[in-house]
Structure 1
Amino acid sequence: MTGAGDYSATDWAANWARALGLYDQKAGTTAVSRAWKTLKDLNLVESTRGEEGKAKITKLLEDGSGDPYRPPGKGDYYFQLPFWYWRDRLNEKLTPPGKAMLLIALDMRSDEFALVQDKISEWYGPSPESVRKGIDELVSHVVIYIARYEWFNTLRSKTGQTARPLYRFVLKYTPPGLKSAGPEPSAE
């Protein structure tokens, strides 16, 4: 609805609520109002009264600067959720830790990547337990798999070396520009 023009949509709160599957008039409109307020406080949307008192919601730049939205251009860093995320209903199957780890893994922008719990906790904020749970979900839903183990030197080990898994996306979830190398796990 907001893919062009001034990147806005105008509608009644009750219609937004029904689009979210909230059919109770009062509770649905209250939930929508709270959600719009949160997004407005984060400088992600602008909210004004449109025609007939309907809410006019206008997208702002997703960096939280409050600047008007513009589509990504050459040199802008962004990523897309793979089509299969929706097709395989991962939006319903993954818990918040799984969804967070999917976004973090997509942000790695590498064919093979390590998901080091303490570093991810430090850089992105989730607890080490949430990181572990999210990784386990992505593996169990066959979104990523362990491609190989990488040995590295560390003082945390009696031997001075330890291994960590390097992950890859399963082919259908691989971001554009990256490759997934076989063999991939079976979906059994």
Structure 2
Amino acid sequence: MHDDNGFDPDEQPATRREMVGAYVRRSKRKQGVGIRKAFVQQGGRGRHARPGPLAKLVRNSDHIALNAYLFARMLGSSDPWDVQLDSGVWVRALNLDDRHPTAARSLVSKALRRLEDDKLITRTRIGRKSVVSLKHESGNGDTYTQITGERDDPYLQIPLCYWTNDWHRRLTLPGLAMLLIALDAERQFWLPADDVHKWYGVSASTANRGYADLEANGLLDSKYCKVRNDLSADGLERRLMRRLIGDVAKPARRPKLEKIVADVETAANLPAVPRLRAV
């Protein structure tokens, strides 16, 4: 079969997953998408902790806006930290192409407007394309800057497989919320649902649904462990520990080189090697 110009017809159009994968490659990211921890929690741990912008998105059941933000953050990988896309790309990437085209474009526009109202992005237009410019993840309205990774600029990292393996379509909003919170935690963590509400502003019921969603999708493992507790009768306490597994597993932290050298010196009974101070 040929078209009117005598050429073989093009192959089948790219699927949604192929299109999203192409945009991931276009971002030139190799490992993941860094997002400042201020997006999920601000003020540090303990009594000073307060929820970040994630809590409001979850409280308002705004799955579309949350995924739109994460998609923009994935694509905005270099200065000037903006994304220029046709509305049809947003529609397909956010899994809205089963809606009427006009309704789907309206959902995208309204979701981006809510992100703008929350000071996470700004919007302009160039022809048919919307230009989404990133703002600081805390929602304080500051201009976005490169993440440094220093102690005063901590971040979590979303694996690229969140997009390439269709997790943005498969996870519920509670599952996505708890994925982001778990990525903010240690590799093995203890975080009861009540503490999720206290520290991250996500309700205990939502947290439990999110944990269940991650477990059902093979992304979370849970088991009870005994840990030391000086105040208990037997000096131990049972805690339900969790860790991300599968596509989103966090790698084991590598010990610092200086600690390895010190351990070797101690084992060999060698004099300590003077450390050079970086300048």
TM range (shorter): 0.7 to 0.9
1:43 counterpart = 2:43: no
User: Displacement, 1:70?
Assistant: 1.8
- Structure 2 unpaired stretches of 5+: 1-74, 255-279
- Answer with 116-125 or 162-171: which moved more: 162-171
Match of 2:202 among 126, 145, 148: 126
1:91 counterpart = 2:165: no
C-alpha RMSD of the superposition: 3.2
Instruction: Look up the equivalent residue of 1:128 and give its one-letter code.
Output: A
Per the alignment, residue 69 of structure 1 pairs with 144
Check whether the contact 2:218–2:246 (CA below 8 A) recurs between aligned residues: no
In structure 1, distance between residues paired with 2:245 and 2:184:
16
How many residues of Structure 1 are paired with residues of Structure 2 in the alignment? 176
User: Displacement, 1:63?
Assistant: 1.5
1:178 counterpart = 2:249: no
Per the alignment, residue 144 of structure 1 pairs with 220
Residue deviations 1:52-104 (CA, integer Å, cap 9, x gap): 47533211122112222222113121111224434543322221111111111
Q: Secondary structure at the match of 1:46?
A: strand
**Structure 1 stretches of at least 4 aligned residues deviating more than 4 Å after TM superposition:** 159-162
TM-score, normalised relative to structure 2:
0.52
Instruction: Look up the equivalent residue of 1:118 and give its one-letter code.
Output: D
1:166 counterpart = 2:241: yes
- Structure 1 unpaired stretches of 5+: 180-188
Counterparts in 2 of 1:105 and 1:53: CA distance versus 1, 3 Å: closer
In structure 2, distance between residues paired with 1:111 and 1:10:
35
In structure 1, distance between residues paired with 2:128 and 2:248:
42
TM-score, normalised relative to structure 1:
0.74
Check whether the contact 2:149–2:155 (CA below 8 A) recurs between aligned residues: no
1:55 counterpart = 2:142: no
Per the alignment, residue 185 of structure 1 pairs with none
- Answer with 134-143 or 36-45: which moved more: 134-143
Identity over aligned pairs, percent: 30
In structure 2, distance between residues paired with 1:77 and 1:170:
22
Check whether the contact 1:147–1:168 (CA below 8 A) recurs between aligned residues: no
1:5 counterpart = 2:79: yes
1:17 counterpart = 2:94: no
In structure 2, distance between residues paired with 1:107 and 1:178:
14
- Answer with 119-128 or 142-151: which moved more: 142-151
In structure 1, distance between residues paired with 2:101 and 2:167:
29
Q: Secondary structure at the match of 2:188?
A: coil
Specify the structure having the higher radius of gyration (Cα).
2
